[in-house]
Each structure stands twice: as structure tokens, then as C-alpha cells.
Amino acid sequence: MKILNPDTVTAPASRYAQAVVHAAGAERMVISGQLGLRPDGSLENGLEAQMERAWTNVFALMSAGGFEREHLLRATIYVTLPGQVALYREVRDRMLGGHRCANTYLEISALAAPEFLVEIEAEAVRE
Amino acid sequence: MKILNPDTVTAPASRYAQAVVHAAGAERMVISGQLGLRPDGSLENGLEAQMERAWTNVFALMSAGGFEREHLLRATIYVTLPGQVALYREVRDRMLGGHRCANTYLEISALAAPEFLVEIEAEAVRE
Amino acid sequence: MKILNPDTVTAPASRYAQAVVHAAGAERMVISGQLGLRPDGSLENGLEAQMERAWTNVFALMSAGGFEREHLLRATIYVTLPGQVALYREVRDRMLGGHRCANTYLEISALAAPEFLVEIEAEAVRE
């Protein structure tokens, strides 16, 4: 997995990769959008806690398939509240512990229910 | 194609997979967002009929590439009307006939034109 | 990379592919959502210029990884202004120079900051 941040494109505004290349021989995991739900199905309170839990869920799924955090290739983030990108970056950097992946941040009308404030959809590859 | 629903993450609220892993040697199909358009370009009436048609279009494209329904890996669903997730699940389960794939449901401001109520973007792999 | 536009699904409304199939032995590039930012980090003025710049950024990243324009597999476009699909198609066709890829067009509440009008997220494969 090779990270690209060439100087022909503006530097990432935060800790992510503008692009990531992976080779043909990669096992790939595709992950459904993860919400701020605990394993018992209850919902975390507030955006920050929901963000942390959604990341925890992404990593729990990766772990269940034998993937490590460093195998995370891409994450697309959907947030229903306006102006939350700074919080998103802070939580992501804390949860990713220095790993960088491709990232797209979007503000969306709603998720599957009004109480869901964030959803993280992701994929991982293991070469 | 291996489906993962580990107990470290809350069980899916409906018939889908929290994550799917596929091996390196997979042929992959990437499908443009499908609308509720019939083959003659006319639009189905109402959300449910548009949902059914969008799925029919996804399967028609898969079939054209030699893929079966069971090769569907992931679908991302964009709906412009609020509160339609129960209908979405019912239609999806009917159209997928027991197959489960990775799923992300999103409520979106609009699609390419105001009369489009749903779009389904998907990918498939054949190992 | 094999483009599919079968007559079982309505013809694409513009120059794109309803589906694209690629073989197992493909090197793959996943690209973060690209905005209308110049290499120095300043923002282009207006939607059309931001669209052109976002495409330029996608191609610059592909080029940095050794990919050509013809390796573009899929693009998902997020626009914050209503009713801009005709402009989108015109700019895309100009920027893609005859190449067709899988495409999904979405109107979204907002991107990472209110001045960003368009974001293009994409992937490429090289067989």
C-alpha cells in the first residue's frame, strides 16, 4: 500500500493521503457504513462519542477478518451536523494513531434514523 | 466472498453484512449509480417502484458481465425522501432473495434531477 | 477494463459507462475526494472552475502513481448547488477527452467547508 501526496496537488489539510495505490495481490475487505452503536445495539451520546464508536466498529470488523489498523485503505465519512470537520480530524487522528488513508468528508441530510449523527464507510486491503 | 458479522459489533439491523472479504483473484464489476429508469428511459412512479427498478438495473448490468446475484459485494443507497429505511429494507430483501452484501443507507439532498427518488451504486466480485 | 452499456438498462444519459469490469491482476488507486484547490492551496472561483480543478487534481494524482487518464475506473461527484448536472457533464466530457468511466452524481448538503462547491472521489485501475 503506497501513499501518494505529490506536490502537484495541494497538501492534505490534515493527516490523510490524497491517494493510495495497492497491488493486484491484495485481499480486500469492504465494510458497511458504521454508526455510533455499541455491541449491545445502544447508541453513543453525542457526535464525538458516535465518531469514536464508529471507528471502533470499523477496527473491530477489520480485526474479525484478520486485518490490522494499518490495512485501512479508505474511509468515507458522512456527518449530519454542519461544520464538524475539525472535530472529525481530531477524532480520526486519535483513532488512527498515525496511519493515513484516503479520506472523503461529506455533510449529509440524514442517515438511517435521525439520532445517527455520523456514519463511516470504509475498506481495507492486505497485501 | 466471506461475510463477517462478528459479535464485537452490533448485529446488522436487517439482512446485510457488516463486512465482506474477498480474495485477490477476483474479477470486479463497478456499477454506476442506478435510477428507477426502465430500459426505454421512462421513469417508474413512486419510491417503491423506483427502488425495485434500480435493483433490476443493477442485476441486469451484473448479468451482462456474467455476474450472478450472489456476486453482489456492496451497495450504497441514496434516497431523497426522509424516513424510508424500512421500505428500503423490505424491497432490498425481496430483490436480493436471501443474499447479503455490505450496505450503506444515506439520505441525500437530491440526485441528478428532482424526479429521481433513489439511486443505488454497487459493486460485484466473482472469485 | 471492459465497459458495459447493455440494452437491458436504459442508455447512459451522457458519456459514461453503466458498469465497468476489471480483471484480477489490476493495480488499483483509490483517490481521496478532490476539491477545487490549486497546488498552492488557494480555491478556484465558481463551480465550473472548481470542477475543472478537481478533475485536474484527480489526473495529477493518477499521474503521480503512473496511471494514465484511460485508467480512470469510477468517479463519484458531490455538488452542493442544485441543478448543475448539465454543467457537470459538459466539464467531465471536456476533461475526460472521450474516456468513459462509471459515474454517480449526487447533490449534497455541504462539503468540509461552505466555499467548497464540488468534490470528486475516484478510483483507477491499471491492468
* Mean pLDDT, rounded, for B107-120: 96
- C118-126 and C72-79 beta bridge pairing: antiparallel
Residue B16: predicted pLDDT: 84
Q: State the nearest Cα–Cα gap between C100 and chain A, in angstroms.
A: 21
Residue B72: predicted pLDDT: 94
Strand partners, C20: B30, C3
Q: How far, in Å, CA of C116 to CA of C45, rounded? A: 10
Q: How far, in Å, CA of B105 to CA of B88, rounded? A: 9
Helix ranges, chain B (H): 47-64, 85-96
Residues of B in contact with A34 (CB under 8 A): 9, 18
Predicted confidence band at C3 (pLDDT cuts at 50, 70, 90)? confident
Q: Are the Cβ atoms of B112 and C13 closer than 8 angstroms?
A: yes
* Mutation target vs A (from C27, C32, C52, C123; most A CBs, 10 A cutoff): C32
ipTM of the complex: 0.90
Buried (b) or exposed (e) across C63-84, using 16+ Cβ within 10 A?
ebbebebebbbbbbbbbbeeeb
Mean of the per-residue pLDDT values of chain C? 91
Residue A108: predicted pLDDT: 95
pTM of the entire predicted model: 0.92
Contact call for residues B15 and A27 (beta carbons, < 8 A): no
Residues of B in contact with C103 (CB under 8 A): 32-33
Q: Which helix (H) or strand (E) holds C93?
A: helix C85-96
A95-121 pLDDT, tens per residue?
999 898 999 999 999 999 999 999 999
Residues of A in contact with C77 (CB under 8 A): none
* Mutation target vs C (from A71, A104, A119; most C CBs, 10 A cutoff): A104
Strand partners, C21: B29, C2
Q: State the nearest Cα–Cα gap between A127 and chain B, in angstroms.
A: 9
Q: How far, in Å, CA of B72 to CA of B44, rounded? A: 23
All residue ranges of chain A with pLDDT < 50 are none
List, in order, residues 6 or more apart from B83 with CB less than 8 Å away. Answer: none
Q: How far, in Å, CA of B34 to CA of C19, rounded? A: 10
C68-98 pLDDT, tens per residue?
999 999 999 999 999 999 999 999 999 999 8
Number of H helices, E strands in chain C: 2, 6
